[in-house]
Homo-oligomer: A and B are copies of this chain.
Amino acid sequence: MTSTLPPTVDPAHLQETLDGRWAHVRRDARENLHDPGMLPVYGESMADARERVTRTARTLAESGRVTLGFPKEFGGEADAGGSVTSIEMLAFTDLSLMVKAGVQWGLFGGAVQLLGTRRHHEAYLRDIMSFDLPGCFAMTETGHGSDVQQLRTTCTYDPATQTFDLHTPHQAARKDYIGNAAKDGRMAVVFAQLVTQGKNHGVHAWLVPIRDEDGAPMPRVTIGDDGPKAGLLGVDNGRLTFDHVTVPRDMLLDRYGQVAADGTYTSSIENETRRFFTMLGTLVRGRVSVGGSASSATKLALDIAVRYGNARRQFSAPGEEREIVINDYLVHQRKLLPALAKTYALHFAQSELVSTMHDLQTAVHEHGEEIDEHAQRELESRAAGLKVAQTWHATQTIQMCREACGGAGYLQENRLPHLKADTDVFTTFEGDNTVLLQLVAKGLLTGYRDNFGSLDGWGRVGFVADMVRETVLERTAARALIQRLVDAVPGRDDEVPMLDRGWQLKMFEFREKHALEGAIRRLRKNSTTPGMAPFDMFNDVQDHVLKTARTHIDRIVLEAFVEGVDRATDPAATALLDTLCDLYALSTIEEDKAWFLEHGQLTPARAKTLTATVNALLKELRPHITTLVDGFAIPADWKAAAILEEEPARQAAMAARDAELRTATPQGTATNLEVPPGQ
């Protein structure tokens, strides 16, 4: 097949499609986020980085750009989706600043807003928004990161004094890795076990002052510093220990649980676990923001590596003087292009997630509607799944980009070291990825029923055995479109061309359904195996269960990409996105080729055709590689990479090379996508 792609695609059309619903927020950021303190400073000390980031956070607050997610009556815009998109854009600048902002306005501010009630809003929201009240989100303890239901910090009510007693019972119960704690925080939202009238009602949150006006720790509060980290040097993570700290009764963030003066506990949600996970569920924005930020960093890394690879030459072709541009090597394309395709795919999936989250939260918080429990559980699962997918993709892709730039990629001046070090923690904070995969799997196994978003080790595995459930896949927004494509697949699976979108979708669907059904079957069998310890019932299948979650996420992402392509209006951009979507689908299938072979979905001959087809797609996309990163529309001054600045002649060379290839494709390097499998 000769290339079906148009010779040129205007990246502005790609950008338009990517920008989507919150295009105005993205545009505003590109135009106005240019404070000189916002970019990483290479070789900066931890102390300097902290100072700079604190200073820039103030500038950011003054710009009013952090208030999108807060209620209108306090000066916000009640725009949940906008606030998350705004963080995603901030992540193109210094990631320390993004995390600092996320802590202050997302986690700390968000907790006060969503777990607190009117009196907390009136007393604190304005100061939080202006950064006059820097604060912490003190949930994680040294001993409990993933299993936050088991936090050891206690907060015990005494009706005699009408106060709570907040206490860290032992060293492993100290709050740890808390952003804003080591230097700036004046208050903290502290999570602890609420005990009143001798009964533990589970984890709740209190607003607790941790520093006085002069910045000194409050009495009985001990503050430690987590010191230098792998990255994010501008964020002052620290440790908090409470030695019987007195907290007034009205500092309980009491939206979901109240303690009366006499100590009587009330809540609209009776079940303790359900209540806790309802509280956590309101804080889903944090997880959504981390996923989006990981993708921003990935785009930046790809932008740098693609441009470098288009200018860098190494080794001459036989019989030629001029050396070869490294992006022309098949193996280099195999590194960059599938990563680019997946980055586009994840972008569309993230946009869909943000939109869903926005609509759900707006309905509840703005229009006072009842929470749709099923939709909320599904949202949390999607947020978890896409956080996992985007953060692991970031870790892998940024590493690959670093290596693709060789020694230059190891110098801080070329940005990649910061991107790598700063995003590294994303795979384990805001939920450890492995634990989050388990959450996703649990939702799939139970159909988002009675699930409460719990991250635990499955409790009674028996629930799977009890349930008779049809494994109907929950579809993304693109329901009708997807169904149409799947239904249109002609003939037998192994005769369908691999570029048939319906066939690709069917493969993703089949794998998810088969993996899920297999996991259910195995769990059910274990739960009736005499003498098998409950832990082993689950643990025996853990790898299979997590694989199920991964296949689910892959499908969600593909469907979102398909829908994204469908929304594009410019024909040239649509054609390019369509081919990129093929590459995402086929390289994902190729990565898990063993599974498809093992389950009879690919014959050995088809498997070879698959590899040949991926290689042919790489050839088709190669001339558009710069256009694809141009589509991210990252302002030049945000990149802060010396290799992109050093040689302005490179840009011209690059454009020339792409043009040359586009002209050559129909003749010189014509590709045949219907490669016979006999390689």
**A324 interface contact, C-beta 8 A:** yes
The answer to whether A427 touches B407, judged by C-beta atoms less than 8 angstroms apart, is: no
**A506 interface contact, C-beta 8 A:** no
Question: How does the 8 Å CB contact mask read for A587-619 relative to B, with 1 for contact and 0 for none?
Answer: 000000110011110001001100100010000
The answer to whether A331 touches B433, judged by C-beta atoms less than 8 angstroms apart, is: no
CA distance A42 to B228 in the complex (A): 7
The answer to whether A230 touches B428, judged by C-beta atoms less than 8 angstroms apart, is: no
**A458 interface contact, C-beta 8 A:** yes
**B contact residues around A607 at 8 Å (CB):** 594, 597-598
CA distance A413 to B227 in the complex (A): 8
**B contact residues around A455 at 8 Å (CB):** 315
Interface-forming stretch among A27-35, A370-378, A529-537, A623-631?
Answer: A529-537
* Neighbour of A314 across the interface among B147, B410, B543, CB < 8 A: B147
**B contact residues around A145 at 8 Å (CB):** 314, 406-407
CA distance A328 to B599 in the complex (A): 30
**A653 interface contact, C-beta 8 A:** no
CA distance A458 to B421 in the complex (A): 36
The answer to whether B615 touches A604, judged by C-beta atoms less than 8 angstroms apart, is: no
**A666 interface contact, C-beta 8 A:** no
Question: How does the 8 Å CB contact mask read for A105-146 relative to B, with 1 for contact and 0 for none?
Answer: 000000000000000000000000000000000001001111
Question: How does the 8 Å CB contact mask read for A541-552 relative to B, with 1 for contact and 0 for none?
Answer: 011101000000
CA distance A434 to B546 in the complex (A): 31
The answer to whether A407 touches B177, judged by C-beta atoms less than 8 angstroms apart, is: yes
Question: How does the 8 Å CB contact mask read for A311-331 relative to B, with 1 for contact and 0 for none?
Answer: 001111111100110001111
**A645 interface contact, C-beta 8 A:** no
**A522 interface contact, C-beta 8 A:** yes
Looking at the assembled complex, report how far the CB atom of A182 sits from the nearest CB atom of chain B, in whole angstroms.
Answer: 12
Looking at the assembled complex, report how far the CB atom of A422 sits from the nearest CB atom of chain B, in whole angstroms.
Answer: 11
**A528 interface contact, C-beta 8 A:** no
CA distance A323 to B535 in the complex (A): 11
Q: Interface centre among A403, A427, A455, A668, by most B CB within 10 Å? A: A403
Question: How does the 8 Å CB contact mask read for A409-445 relative to B, with 1 for contact and 0 for none?
Answer: 1111100110011001101110011100000000000
**B contact residues around A416 at 8 Å (CB):** 230
Looking at the assembled complex, report how far the CB atom of A427 sits from the nearest CB atom of chain B, in whole angstroms.
Answer: 6
The answer to whether A543 touches B615, judged by C-beta atoms less than 8 angstroms apart, is: yes
**A402 interface contact, C-beta 8 A:** yes
Looking at the assembled complex, report how far the CB atom of A394 sits from the nearest CB atom of chain B, in whole angstroms.
Answer: 12
By beta carbon, the residue of chain B nearest A44 is B228
**B contact residues around A533 at 8 Å (CB):** 317, 668
By beta carbon, the residue of chain B nearest A405 is B428
The answer to whether A318 touches B460, judged by C-beta atoms less than 8 angstroms apart, is: yes
**A518 interface contact, C-beta 8 A:** yes
**B contact residues around A140 at 8 Å (CB):** 407
By beta carbon, the residue of chain B nearest A596 is B594
Q: Interface centre among A176, A330, A399, A607, by most B CB within 10 Å? A: A330
* A316-B457, A543-B334 known; A323+B150 contact, CB < 8 A: yes
By beta carbon, the residue of chain B nearest A46 is B43
**A241 interface contact, C-beta 8 A:** no
By beta carbon, the residue of chain B nearest A669 is B536
* Neighbour of A542 across the interface among B143, B331, B434, B599, CB < 8 A: B331
The answer to whether A412 touches B42, judged by C-beta atoms less than 8 angstroms apart, is: no
* Neighbour of A42 across the interface among B227, B317, B544, CB < 8 A: B227
**A226 interface contact, C-beta 8 A:** yes
**A2 interface contact, C-beta 8 A:** no
**B contact residues around A395 at 8 Å (CB):** 399
Question: How does the 8 Å CB contact mask read for A182-200 relative to B, with 1 for contact and 0 for none?
Answer: 0000000000000000000
**A494 interface contact, C-beta 8 A:** no
The answer to whether B608 touches A604, judged by C-beta atoms less than 8 angstroms apart, is: no
The answer to whether A540 touches B330, judged by C-beta atoms less than 8 angstroms apart, is: yes
From 289 to 324 in chain A, residues with beta carbon under 8 angstroms from any chain B beta carbon are: 313-320, 323-324
**B contact residues around A226 at 8 Å (CB):** 411
The answer to whether B43 touches A227, judged by C-beta atoms less than 8 angstroms apart, is: yes
**B contact residues around A458 at 8 Å (CB):** 318
From 196 to 235 in chain A, residues with beta carbon under 8 angstroms from any chain B beta carbon are: 226-231
The answer to whether B329 touches A542, judged by C-beta atoms less than 8 angstroms apart, is: yes
The answer to whether A598 touches B597, judged by C-beta atoms less than 8 angstroms apart, is: yes
A-B contact pairs, 22 of them (CB 8 A): A43-B227, A145-B314, A145-B407, A146-B406, A147-B315, A228-B411, A228-B412, A230-B412, A230-B417, A315-B455, A316-B456, A318-B459, A318-B534, A324-B535, A329-B539, A332-B434, A406-B432, A410-B424, A410-B425, A544-B679, A594-B607, A598-B604
Closest 5 CB pairs of A and B: A230-B417, A43-B228, A317-B535, A593-B594, A318-B534
